[in-house]
Chain A
Amino acid sequence: MNRFLIPLVAFLVLVVFLAIGLSLDPREVPSPLIDKPAPGFRLAQLRDSGKTLAVEELRGQVWLLNVWASWCAPCLEEHPRLLELSQARTVPIVGLNYKDSRDAALKWLAKHGDPYSTIVTDPDGRVGIEYGVYGVPETFVIDRHGIIRYKHIGPLTAEALQGAILPLVRRLQT
């Protein structure tokens, strides 16, 4: 074969990768915690700061962990869907109030509605770090044995709920 064709062939291979690259999002980082146990924590509850909640106490049921904050605009976007979900009583939603102040959080819930079965506070974000949270909101699906099965980054969309999260929850619950 003509050795002068090598540059062209190499270029075409490169183009294939670049074309694929256009459809990918380099900023989307998948979670390394999928299928690993949810990191343990014992945090103070938002509504009653005298009480705490530990991850172990949630064993035996499938549950969602929703990371949110009063200062987070996209959280407001997904909030109606969370409210609907909690009214349908499909799966308990535990809120992780991330890098927020108690007053601001309570005010926000009073204004927009409260879909959470329990809310714990993570004011300095340490538990968030353990869970690999790098933006707000994020939602985790955790099964009966405390294993993380799914992580959704960004506000919950109807497609994500109907297409991925709810089917997974139903499967884990049986």
Chain B
Amino acid sequence: MTPELGHFSLIVALTIACLQAGLPLAGAARGNVAWMQVARPAAQAQFLLVALAFGCLAWSFVNNDFSVLNVASNSNSSLPWYYRLAATWGSHEGSLLLWVLMLSGWMCAVSLASRHLPLAMVARILGVMALISIGFLLFMLLTSNPFERLLPPAPDGRDLNPLLQDPGMVIHPPMLYMGYVGFSVAFAFSIAALLGGQLDATWARWSRPWTTMAWVFLTVGIALGSWWAYYELGWGGWWFWDPVENASFMPWLTGTALIHSLAVTEKRGGFRAWTVLLAIITFSLSLLGTFLVRSGVLTSVHAFATDPARGIFILVFLVLVIGASLSLFAWRAPRVGLGGQFGLVSRESALLANNVLLLVAAATVMLGTLYPLFLDALNLGKISVGPPYFEAVFVPLMAPAVFLMGIGPLAKWKQATLPELAVRLRWALAVALVTAALLPLTLGKWTPMIAFGLLLALWLTASGVANLWERLTQLSMAGGAAPLSYLKQLPRGYYGMLLAHFGVAVFVTGVTLVRGYETEKDVRMVTGDSVEVGGYRFRLDGLVGVKGPNYDATRGIVGVFKGERRTGTMQPEKRIYHVQQMPMTEAAIDTGFTRDLYVSLGEPLGGGAWVVRVYHKPFVDWIWGGAFLMGLGGILAVSDRRYRLARRAAQAIPAAAGAARA
């Protein structure tokens, strides 16, 4: 009964979505208030129905209902309950339901938090989001029904892919989808603005928090995926430029450009066409990512359902959504108007360069990802494009962008001068240059790449400190108190920017130092053997057999020594999951602020000997730490006072009422 209830909920949700799309959009075009007012309750109803459907599927999983095909294919009775729950979104169908749940969640949030937006705009925004929802619901109901029955029911399930039986893997998809789907809000805002012809600073101020939150989720989602790959796959790698990784990275790049472009539109009314285009592109890239993962067009370790029939549906959907929005853009953007003029050296210029660099970076990633497809389609052969291309192209694009990140926040709006900027930044640059030149020597090895990476990171940090100090001293000179006492007065948005940019510096440092200084050894070991890596000695003290809830494992006991002192024990495992008979590596990682020690078991070589991989990875956690700081900076920015407009609007209404009376 429960699966049928879930199925029925989806059908009703689809009907509501049609109403939510049709009536408000038509109402906004014709000025029909009643029709426009359908939008908010419809969005809320849709959320409840989709949540109900999701609950039904989750219920079927947790209760081992193997008469549901999805449960039988992706779960097992010996799977721990939390992974049974996570298996709800571990398959193509289930993950689509998660996508729609998040979309309806954001729709509901917009319907509740938009009291101060004009009704026509809210109607258009929710209408556009409903159109997207229709597409995904139709896709599910027509080709990927998660509630399909398996009769007679299977006695037990095929188990969740062991790669997904992991806490990181449980939370990575929800975070990522919150990001992808969140950008649909920015997209809907842009389409609504194009439809209504209303694209001003107010519009930008409303879109900013939504867009930044989506960006935060996407940042965290990508970081989690990278971290998961690092500790789960057993090779110590954390980014492979795999097509599906790239599919998440491209919207992140354009999304970053978008949040910065929105800043210009809000503060100076400029970059309007850019902002709208970036919002459309970012969400289109999210949809494109959906297509790539589920259509079989690219080979990837990540690919879900490789089913060309489903691919055709998604492609048609893509053409309709993206084609229509880009057509609307081509038609209406010329009327959107230009912002104020700005000089060649100005904050606007820096942000424009930022837009361009990020967009070009996203384009090069897309080119590399789709190049094999292009060549195959033109019958020019089969190739694969890997890290050498991406790294050769990406780093030279990002380096100038990072350099500009130090200058932009200091540059004045509209017009700044280079000599003035140089004077204000001279200490920051000097400190960065000297430290970057000398630091690698103290760490053991000096190469140009390490020095350059450190220079970028130190430049970012030093220029951020210079920026902060400058503002504090300006306030101090105006107000008379000591500079540091003004820390509380600076807006959260500003601290958000500083923190996020600092996060980038931390990230760059992590990548530079890990690449520059990591060491590894792959050795054959039997009990009693030792190997030296990164100043530590690792001794294989023994191997034991271990039984898990749904797997059997061989566990290595590895003692770690620094000199004569034992600093710890690491216990890597090689697991075989019963149902799918799949071997899985569980690396042992000793996490530290300045380094990770990483030990994983490779293959058994017979006679009690194993291949053991030992890595010393300095500062590798700074990679994800930096990403986390970026996300935190975004949250800080969103919590800025000027977005809490309830207070301001409440103050405005009495003032207006007072004026009306007077």
Contact = CB atoms under 8 A, between A and B. Distances in A.
Contacts of B281: 7
B382 A12 contact: no
Contact of A22 (B299, B311, B382): B311
B250 to A, nearest CB: 12
A129 interface: no
Q: Give the one of A8, A20, A25, A27 with max B CB within 10 A.
A: A8
A26 interface: yes
Interface in A36-81: none
Contacts of B323: 8, 11-12, 15
B373 A17 contact: yes
B259 to A, nearest CB: 20
B334 A2 contact: yes
A29 to B, nearest CB: 6
B334 A4 contact: yes
Interface in B262-295: 273, 277, 280-281, 284, 291, 295
B382 A4 contact: no
Given A23-B308, A27-B299, A8 B376 contact: no
Contacts of A24: 297, 373, 376-377
B466 interface: no
Contact of A18 (B273, B291, B329, B330): B291
A163 interface: no
Given A12-B323, A26-B297, A21 B330 contact: no
A22 B295 contact: yes
B329 A26 contact: no
B329 A7 contact: yes
Contacts of B329: 4, 7-8
Given A11-B323, A26-B297, A19 B315 contact: yes
A60 B602 CA distance: 48
Given A2-B334, A26-B372, A26-B376, A7 B277 contact: yes
Contact of A17 (B277, B311, B374, B382): B374
A30 interface: yes
Interface in B368-385: 370, 372-374, 376-377, 382
Given A17-B373, A30-B382, A22 B312 contact: yes
Contacts of B377: 17, 20-21, 24
Contacts, number: 71
B297 A18 contact: yes
A22 B297 contact: yes
B109 interface: no
Contacts of A27: 299
Contacts of A2: 330, 334
B308 A15 contact: no
Nearest to B373: A21
Contact of A15 (B295, B315, B330, B333): B315
Nearest to B309: A22
A5 interface: yes
Contact of A11 (B299, B322, B374): B322
Interface string B294-323: 011111000000001001100100110011
Contacts of A20: 377
B298 A22 contact: no
B327 interface: yes
Q: Give the one of A7, A15, A21, A29 with max B CB within 10 A.
A: A21
B543 interface: no
A30 B380 CA distance: 12
Contacts of B376: 21, 24, 26
A90 B311 CA distance: 42
B326 A18 contact: no
Contacts of B297: 18, 21-22, 24, 26
Contacts of A17: 370, 373-374, 377
Interface string B386-414: 00000000000000000000000000000
Q: Give the one of B280, B299, B329, B376 with max A CB within 10 A.
A: B376
Interface in B353-379: 370, 372-374, 376-377
A8 B373 contact: no
Contacts of A21: 295, 297-298, 373, 376-377
B281 to A, nearest CB: 7
A26 B373 contact: yes
B426 to A, nearest CB: 40
A28 B311 CA distance: 18
A114 to B, nearest CB: 32
Contacts of A30: 382
Nearest to A21: B297
Contacts of B322: 11
B377 to A, nearest CB: 4
Interface in B50-76: none
Contacts of A29: 382
B30 to A, nearest CB: 27
A28 B372 CA distance: 12
Contacts of A14: 370
Interface in B138-195: none
A23 B295 CA distance: 10
Contact of A26 (B299, B311, B334): B299
A141 B295 CA distance: 33
Contact of B373 (A5, A15, A18): A18
A28 B333 CA distance: 44
Given A4-B273, A26-B299, A15 B326 contact: no
Q: Give the one of A7, A12, A25, A28 with max B CB within 10 A.
A: A7
Interface in B236-282: 273, 277, 280-281
A14 B291 CA distance: 13
Nearest to A7: B326
Interface in A106-160: none
Contacts of B333: 4
A25 B296 CA distance: 8
A4 B319 contact: no
A8 B315 contact: no
A140 B296 CA distance: 27
B331 to A, nearest CB: 8
A12 to B, nearest CB: 7
A8 B308 contact: no
Nearest to A24: B376
Contacts of B370: 14, 17
B427 to A, nearest CB: 43
B315 A18 contact: yes
Contacts of A18: 291, 297, 315, 318, 373
Contacts of B372: 26
**CB-CB nearest 6 A-B residue pairs:** A8-B326, A20-B377, A21-B297, A4-B330, A5-B330, A4-B333
9 contacts: A4-B273, A7-B277, A8-B327, A17-B374, A18-B297, A18-B315, A20-B377, A21-B297, A24-B373
Given A18-B315, A26-B298, 15 more contacts: A4-B273, A4-B330, A8-B323, A11-B322, A17-B373, A18-B291, A18-B297, A18-B318, A21-B376, A22-B308, A22-B312, A22-B315, A24-B377, A26-B297, A27-B299
Interface of A: 2, 4-5, 7-8, 11-12, 14-15, 17-30
